[in-house]
Each structure stands twice: as structure tokens, then as C-alpha cells.
């Protein structure tokens, strides 16, 4: 897979999230708080992070609940939490923290995809040329 194909695939992925988000109900502070409590549960996050470290160090597959979520849902969660930070400024730090976690999960998936398809060298070469 070429970098152009990768870029196209990722672009289509991000475009697919827009219609999904548009179908959701209007955000409320109550919904934001409930979703942040559920999605940002410290135990779930710790389990995911520990499993991710194990996967990187010894190849043990990350089978946690968070690792099973489709990437489109991961992206939606990060977007919703960013929107909640704007809606509920008093708790913006909480929402930003949960958004950062799911952005990290997305980054983990992208890194695995790049490695799986042997694109690390091409990525590094293009980055060295200033292509960002």
C-alpha cells in the first residue's frame, strides 16, 4: 500500500465519522458527564494502557474492552469529549483528558496499521522531506 493509498483510506475513514456524528442526539451537560464517567473510567484506561505496553514489549494482543471498540467509535468519543469541553467549561479538563485518551487509542491503531503494512520507512522518508 502506498502512502497515497494510506492517505486516501484515512481520509475516507474520517469522512465516515461525520454522518455518524450528525445522527446523534444533541449534547447536554448531563450526557457529557455520563459519557465522560463511562468512557473515562480509570480502571478501563489502566487496563488498556497496561495491555498496550504488554503488546509492545512481548507481542501479547490487547484484548481489553477499549481495544475492541471500532476506530470510528474511538474517533466519535474523542470528538464528543472535545465538544463537551466547550459545552461544559467548568469540567473541560475532565473532557479534554478523556478526549486525549481516545486520541491516543486512535494513534495506537494508526501506528499498528502503518507497521502492519510496512509503511514505517516510507513514512520516515517523507517526514524527513517535510511532508506533513
Report whether 91 contacts 33 (CB < 8 A): yes
Domain extent, residue 35, equals: 3-128
Side-chain-side CA neighbours of 116 within 13 Å: the count stands at 7
Q: What is the pTM of this model?
A: 0.79
- What are the cell numbers at 108? 495506537
**Is pLDDT at 4 greater than 90 in this prediction?**
no
For residues 67 and 74, what is the distance between their CA atoms, to the nearest angstrom?
9
Tell me the pLDDT tens digit for each residue of 54-105.
999 999 999 999 999 999 999 999 999 999 999 999 999 999 999 999 999 9
Amino acid at each position: 500500500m502506498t502512502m497515497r493509498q494510506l492517505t486516501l483510506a484515512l481520509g475516507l475513514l474520517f469522512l465516515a465519522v461525520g454522518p455518524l456524528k450528525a445522527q446523534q442526539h444533541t449534547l447536554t451537560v448531563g450526557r457529557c458527564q455520563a459519557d465522560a464517567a463511562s468512557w473515562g473510567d480509570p480502571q478501563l484506561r489502566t487496563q488498556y494502557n497496561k495491555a498496550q505496553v504488554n503488546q509492545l514489549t512481548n507481542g501479547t494482543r490487547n484484548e481489553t474492552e477499549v481495544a475492541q471498540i471500532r476506530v470510528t467509535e474511538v474517533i466519535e468519543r474523542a470528538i464528543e469529549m472535545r465538544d463537551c469541553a466547550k459545552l461544559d467549561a467548568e469540567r473541560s479538563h475532565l473532557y479534554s483528558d478523556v478526549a486525549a485518551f481516545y486520541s491516543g487509542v486512535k494513534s495506537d491503531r494508526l501506528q499498528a496499521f502503518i507497521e502492519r503494512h510496512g509503511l514505517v520507512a516510507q513514512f520516515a522518508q517523507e517526514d524527513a522531506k517535510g511532508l506533513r
